[in-house]
Each structure stands twice: as C-alpha cells, then as structure tokens.
C-alpha cells in the first residue's frame, strides 16, 4: 500500500467505501431499497439522503444496494475468468499440440467478436438474470488471462525446477497448482481487476439499454429508469436520481482501473 501512487490510494478509498456499502447492504432488510418508503420524488433530506424515485423508493439505499450488485458481478466475473482462463492457459501451454491449437483458436474467435453486441445477443438467448450475465461476461473475459498465462508458462515450461518436478513424477495437476500458479498469480491479479472493471461496465451497459436483469437494483438499471421516465427533463428530479448512479459507476470503474495500474507498476518494478 505504501508503494501506491496518490491516485491509487484514493482508488483504494473508493473501493473500500463500496465494499462497506456492499456489506451493509447484505444486512439491510430488502424493504429499504425494494419497497416504497415515502412519497415519490422527495428532495434529499436528512432522513432520505438522496431523496426518492418515481415509486417512492429511497434512492440512497438503492445506491448502497447497487454497490453490492456491482461488486458481486465484478468479483464473480474476475474470479471465474481469472481461474478459468489461467487453467486453460496453463493447459494450452503445457500440453501444447492439438490442445493448444484448439484453445488458441477459440481465443481468436472470441477476440474477433465485438464484445458488447455479442453480450447483448447472448444475454437475450440465455436470459437476463444476474447469474447469466456473469456467465456470459466470463465467457468472453477468460481469453485475456489465458493468453497471458500461456505465454508465461511457455517460458517457464523449460525451467529447471519444472523439469525437476516432472522427473520426480509430478503430474499435471500437481505441477499446475504447486509450481505454476504461484508464479503466474501476480500477473493474473492485475488482469482480474481489469476484468472486474469491464464486467461492471458491461452490466451497466446492458441494464442501461434495458436488456439486463430488471429485478436487480443495479446502478445501470437506475440510470435506465431515470432516463426513460417521461418528462424527466421537465423536472429537477434528475439531479439526484440520475447523477448518483452515474457518479458511483464512474468512481468505481476508475478506482478499479487505477488499482490495476498501480499493481502493474509494482509488479513491473519487482521484475
């Protein structure tokens, strides 16, 4: 933490706030953000920090809950893509030959596909629940880690300690988990932050277009509701209904990017 840049430290603060919100949200009764608390469109007040939306639901608590959703999506996608991608990358590099060609071929196709249109079309196919969105984004994001890991493992493959382990009878899994993964992990963690950031952007984009999960109270959905409310330009409501999810999204995405960047710097310095 000491070696973080100033921006990185601010980013950690933002991330921590979001984590705190998420934890609070787990213990918060759903009535706070899922049920109307008062009249619609009340202005921010002490009791309702950000006022209420068109249904009379407290916006502040919806934002708090949104942190949980965003972090959930970010972490799940990062973990699934990170682990899945790493394993596949290691597999491709280690086994080589046909396995490698197939995995690389799939990577090429997935890289060539434009992500957002593909996510849009896929999410319609598999439904728009949160779980499916996470799966779909992971399906596209594992390519990054996989390629990186593969390159690294190809270099490591011939290192003496690997050859030694093999000659001692270590099988694929042993070598993967005990020797390769720890070497590879730092690289993966940097890209995991980036994947998390992309996942949150993807979910926000989908929800904003109206193609996401309508029962989740994600920030993207709040934006969608706000913008499509008839007569929104007439009124002052947008000042808190639209700006709050907008700012939260921007802050979290930037925070994750900066943390990733700092991690990368630290990593490169180490090397």
Partner 1 sequence: MFKKFLSVAILSFCTLPMFASGINESTNLIDDTSQSKVLHLAGGNVGTLNPFQHMNRGPGIFRTFLIFDTLLEKDENGLIPWLASSYTIAEDGKTYTFHLQENAYWQDGEELTADDVKFSIEYYREHTPVYNQLVMNGKFIVDSVEVIDKKTVKIITDEPGVAYLEHLGYFAIIPEHIWSDIDDPRSYDGSDRCIGSGPFIVESYSATNGTYRLIANENFWGPKQAVDAIEWIPVSDANLAFEKGEIDLTTISADLISRYENNPEYTIKKVPALHCYRLMMNSETREEFTDKNLRKAIAYAIDVDDLIQKIDRGSAFVSSQGYIPNNSSYYNDDVIKYPYSREKALELLDGKEYSFTLLTDNSSSSTKLCELIKLKLEDVNIHVDIKAIDSVSRDNAIVTGNYEMVVVFYGGMGGDPDYLSNVYGASSNYIKGWSNEEIEELLNKQSVEFDDDIRRDELNRIQELISDEVPMYLMQGAYWNFIYRPNTYDNWTTRYDHNYLSHIKLSYLLRD
Partner 2 sequence: MKRFIIVLFAILTINFLLPRLMPGDPFLTLSAEDGFTSVQYSEQEVQDLKEYYGLDKPIATQFIEYYANVLKGDFGRSIFYNESVNKILLRKLPWTIFIVLSSLLIGCIVGLSLGILSMINRNKNFDKVFYTLIITVSEIPSFLIGIAFLFIFAANLGWFPLSGGVSAFTEPSFSLAYIEDILSHAFLPIITMSIPSIGQFYILSRSSMITIISKDYMVTGKAKGLSKRRLNIFYILKNSLPPIISRVFLNIGHLFASSILVENVFAYPGIGTLMKESVLKRDYPMIQAIFLIIAMLVLLMNYLAEFINGKIDPRGSKYEKIQ
The DSSP 8-state label assigned to residue 49 in this structure reads: T
- Cα-flanking dihedrals φ and ψ of residue 58, to 5°? -60, 125
Please identify, using beta-carbon distances, which residue of 5 and 228 lies nearer to partner 1. 228
Distance of CA 94 to the CA centre of its chain: 28
Give the x-and-dash track for 160-199 against partner 1 (CB under 8 A). Answer: ----------------------------------------
> Are 54 and 41 in contact, with CB atoms under 8 Å apart?
yes
Integer Cα distance of 140 and 135 in angstroms:
9
Query: Which two tokens mark 135?
Result: 């799966």
232 touches partner 1 by CB under 8 A: yes
Query: Smallest distance, Å, CB 22 to partner 1?
Result: 22
* Distance in angstroms between the alpha carbons of the first and the last residue of the chain: 18
Which of partner 2, partner 1, none lies near 34, with the C-beta cut-off 5 to 8 A by kind? partner 1
Q: Give least dist CB 61 to partner 1, A.
A: 15
Q: What radius of gyration do the chain's Cα atoms show?
A: 22
Pair of tokens at residue 124: 């319609």
Residue 222 corresponds to which tokens in the numbers above?
Answer: 């709040």
* Interface region with partner 1, contact rule CB under 8 A, candidates 120-128, 131-139, 159-167, 247-255: 120-128
The DSSP H or E segment spanning 149 is helix 143-156
The yes or no reply on residue 128 touching partner 1 (CB under 8 A) is yes
Min CB(121)–partner 2 separation in Å: 5
> Within its chain, how far is the Cα of 166 from the centroid?
36
249 binds, among partner 1, partner 2, none (CB under 5 to 8 A by kind): partner 2
| Contact between residue 204 and residue 245 where contact means Cβ atoms under 8 Å apart | no
Q: Which of residues 80-109 bind partner 1 (CB under 8 A)?
A: none
Among 112, 230, 268, 269, binds partner 1 (CB under 8 A): 230
Residues that bind partner 2 (CB under 8 A): 7, 105, 108-109, 112-118, 120-122, 124-125, 127, 201, 204-205, 208-211, 223, 227, 233, 238, 242-243, 246, 249-250, 253-254, 257
Specify the residue, 56 or 210, whose C-beta has the smaller distance to partner 2: 210
């Amino acid at each position: 933490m000491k070696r973080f840049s100033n921006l990185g430290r601010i980013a950690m603060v933002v991330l921590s706030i979001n984590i705190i919100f998420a934890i609070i949200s787990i213990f918060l009764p759903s009535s706070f953000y899922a049920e109307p608390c008062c009249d619609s469109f009340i202005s921010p007040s002490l009791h309702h920090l950000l006022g209420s939306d068109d249904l009379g639901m407290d916006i502040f608590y919806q934002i708090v809950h949104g942190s949980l959703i965003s972090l959930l999506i970010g972490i799940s996608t990062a973990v699934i893509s990170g682990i899945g991608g790493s394993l596949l990358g290691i597999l491709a590099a280690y086994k080589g030959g046909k396995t490698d060609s197939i995995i690389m071929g799939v990577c090429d196709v997935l890289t060539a596909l434009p992500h957002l249109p593909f996510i849009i079309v896929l999410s319609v196919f598999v439904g728009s629940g949160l779980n499916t969105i996470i799966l779909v984004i992971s399906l596209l994001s594992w390519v990054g880690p996989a390629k990186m890991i593969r390159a690294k493992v190809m270099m490591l493959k011939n290192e003496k300690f690997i050859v030694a382990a093999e000659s001692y009878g270590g099988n694929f899994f042993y070598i993967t988990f005990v020797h390769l993964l720890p070497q590879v992990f730092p690289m993966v963690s940097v890209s995991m932050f980036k994947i998390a950031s992309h996942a949150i952007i993807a979910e926000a984009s989908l929800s904003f277009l109206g193609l996401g999960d309508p029962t989740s109270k994600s920030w993207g959905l709040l934006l969608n509701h706000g913008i499509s409310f008839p007569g929104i330009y007439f009124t002052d409501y947008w000042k808190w209904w639209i700006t709050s999810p907008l700012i939260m999204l921007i802050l979290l995405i930037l925070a994750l990017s900066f943390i990733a960047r700092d991690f990368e710097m630290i990593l490169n310095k180490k090397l």
